Amino acid sequence: MTATKLSIGIERYDRHFPFFDGTVIPPDGVELDVYQAGQSSTLRDGDDRHERMLHGGEFDIAEFSMSTFLMAKGRDLPIAGIPIFPRRLFSQSQMWVHPDSNLWHPKDLVGKKVALSSFQTTLSLLAKGDMKFHYGVNWEDIHWLVTTDEKIKFDVKEGVKLDTIGKRSDLGRMLEDGEIDAFFLPHPPHSVVSGQTAARRLFADCKAEEINYYEKHGDFPIMHVVAIRQSLLEKEPWVAKAAFDMFNQAKELAETFYEDPNWSRLAWGRHYFEEERTLFVDDPWENGFKRNKANIERFIKYSHDQGLIDAIYPAESLFTETTLDT
């Protein structure tokens, strides 16, 4: 019997380490070829993961930006979703302003210049949507500046101010010099993380804001989803559920890492792990369609409101039929 070979392109996270070290056990007859591929950052096996799957057909299965995935599905590109969500972020901790500014709430950003990686980046989508639907501040009333080209073309909504600015790596300096008032990024510039340029988060207590958000919505916002090539799915429909099971297996193995208090280089890493278990009623990283349906529907609503997709379509239409019962 000829083995089914699957190429998988994923990020370097703790929940993916079991793929890289070979402790994930694939089903009988399946051989894995795992690539550590970044999107905006270059990892062991390169970057541009989305494009390499969408346009190059390089991966059978790949981790995908939720926003790009929604736009791709809305344009009938040949991929389908598997309800595995390996990257998640709250928007509140990713909103940065100058430390001397009087900006403390999304309403203070009305009329200001706010930089993004791109308009359609998932964190950008979430932050704009949360401003409008969680905080009651119209994202359309802000002047948006982007640092990279949009991966999938779309028509900017009438009246929206959207311009291109310099490199993402320059945003710390631009904030310090007053060229921009804030930036929302999934990865802050190195100059900010390293302390070379000054910045602070918009909210005085981001953690409290995010706990309140979780209590209201009941979920940890999705950033990435796992996608599979439609052509593979048509030939081997069982692969989607097999992949779902392998990613969950990897997640469960990663949970055991934190039994060792020295697993991470954080002195109190085990304490943080225990604290999160106390704060979250359920597992915030739980995969599956049913548990994440409301989370997915919120992203569909946000994407449609921001002009990135043309219609609000059922969440079920995004995922493979064999994984809808998960």
State pLDDT tens for residues 262-273.
999 999 999 999
Looking at residues 117-121, what average pLDDT do you find?
Answer: 96
- Nearest-angstrom CA–CA distance, 262 and 306: 43
Given phi > 0 = left and psi -120 to 50 = alpha, else beta, which region is 130? alpha
* Neighbouring residues of 245: CB distance < 8 A, sequence distance ≥ 6: 27
CA distances from 253 to 82, 220, 311 (A): 20, 21, 39
Looking at residues 51-77, what average pLDDT do you find?
Answer: 91
State pLDDT tens for residues 277-295.
899 988 999 999 999 999 9
pLDDT value at position 41? 80
- Which one has a higher pLDDT value, 51 or 91? 91
CB count in 10 Å sphere of residue 23: 12
Q: What is the pTM of this model?
A: 0.96
Is the predicted pLDDT of residue 172 greater than 80, yes or no?
Answer: yes
* Neighbouring residues of 112: CB distance < 8 A, sequence distance ≥ 6: 103, 142, 143, 181, 182
pLDDT value at position 1? 57
Given phi > 0 = left and psi -120 to 50 = alpha, else beta, which region is 92? alpha
All domains of the chain, ordered by start, with CATH?
A: 4-89+221-323 (3.40.190.10), 92-217 (3.40.190.10)
